[in-house]
Amino acid sequence: MLIRKSVLAVNPYIPGKPIEETKRQLGLKEVIKLASNENPLGPSPKALSAIKRSLSGVNRYPDARGFYLKKRLAKFLGLSSENFVLGNGSDELIDVVIKTFMEADENIVTSEGTFLEYEIIAQVNDRKVKKSPLRNFKYDLEAMLKLVDKKTKLIFIANPNNPTGTYVTKYEIAEFINALPEGVVVVFDEAYNAFIDVDDYPDSLSYLKKKKKIIILRTFSKAYGLAGLRLGYAIAAPELVTYMERIRQPFNVNLLAQVAGLAALGDNDFLKKTRRLILEGKDFIYRELSQMGLSYVFSVANFILVDTGKDSREVFKSMLKFGVIVRDMEQYGLRNFIRVTIGTQKENKKFLRVLGKVLTEDKP
């Protein structure tokens, strides 16, 4: 066989539909994309200025160690530079973690209805994944614990979870971590932590300080508006970091991403503005959806899972014709649901208008 069996078995990740492609295919002038949980305000302005200042340096390779960015992250989070691995988006770090820690006969435990890359990247690496069903759209940690066996090496927890927007509390995590056998590494994927507005969200860094075997993944793609540059980081104990550093490519984080990340960490105004926009936009969409008689899942992230009561692929296609890109949840096993990213107020209004229109049409 030319192609590896595990590669043949992969169900590839389907990204949000790009704006330009939609315009071209449907002959539309105006298209809004609320499908990939990006920042609707654009990139952090401080990051943008830093990129412009650094453009003439791109004939040089980037700093393979990411010295300044790690130093800045360490200061930002009260840790040391040795606690960080930088990645080409946090996606790459999922791969790095699997390659660093897992033997061929070991498995991963995670949930159904979660970020698909855990399973896809595990499959590509020939590693087994065990999943428990969601309970009320939330990770069911008790059920996950029952799946843990002698061969379990990694546990992936997206917190908040994508695509549901739900989270596991600090109490649930405390109990879960205490019950885990030695030698299991818990990966907290906190891509959306900047949007949290609840008091009982876990302080995952405190587990690192207690010397628990954990890895935290974060990204500049969402709140900082740098998805196109590809920049994420893993936080872990220095002993683990050393080995993860062996796996990543030497120049995995490009020069512009490094300077942009550095500047974005100091852009508090932008972060505040983004948070306000998301929290207000979410409240607005909740209210309007309720008025339309639609149910949705309460989210602590920058997106909402909406029950359309109809085949979400049809709803997606119909909305596309009106220039609104959302995400249908077929691939996640949530048939009637769409996931919508909170946009600007203008985009949110257009989304609601178009959703109302397509749901009252006969077809979907």
Chain residues that interact with ligand PLP, rule: CB under 6 A:
37, 89-91, 115, 158, 162, 189, 191, 219, 221, 227, 232
Q: Which is nearer to ligand PLP, 158 or 215 (CB)?
A: 158
3-state secondary structure of 341: strand
Report the nearest approach of ligand PLP to the CB of residue 219 (Å). Answer: 3
Whose CA is closest to 94, among 127, 123, 128, 117?
A: 117
Ramachandran assignment for 282, one of left (phi > 0), alpha (psi -120 to 50 degrees), beta (any other):
alpha
Q: Which is nearer to ligand PLP, 16 or 356 (CB)?
A: 16
Report the nearest approach of ligand PLP to the CB of residue 184 (Å). Answer: 20
Report the nearest approach of ligand PLP to the CB of residue 72 (Å). Answer: 18
Q: Which is nearer to ligand PLP, 113 or 364 (CB)?
A: 113
3-state secondary structure of 243: helix
Whose CA is closest to 319, among 22, 13, 15, 42?
A: 22
For residues 312 and 148, the answer to whether their CB atoms sit within 8 Å is no
Report the nearest approach of ligand PLP to the CB of residue 190 (Å). Answer: 8
Q: Which residue is nearest to ligand PLP (CB)?
A: 89
Percentages helix, strand, coil for the chain (3-state, rounded to 5) are: 45, 15, 40
Angle at alpha carbon of residue 219, lines to 46 and 65, rounded to 5°? 80
Q: String of b and e for 196-234 (b: at least 16 CB within 10 Å)?
A: beeeebbebbebbeeeebbbbbbbbbbbbbbbebbbbbb
What are the C-alpha distances in Å from 48 to residues 7, 224, 260? 38, 11, 7
Q: Which is nearer to ligand PLP, 38 or 364 (CB)?
A: 38
Q: Which is nearer to ligand PLP, 119 or 189 (CB)?
A: 189
Q: Which is nearer to ligand PLP, 214 or 358 (CB)?
A: 214
Report the nearest approach of ligand PLP to the CB of residue 125 (Å). Answer: 17
Report the nearest approach of ligand PLP to the CB of residue 119 (Å). Answer: 13
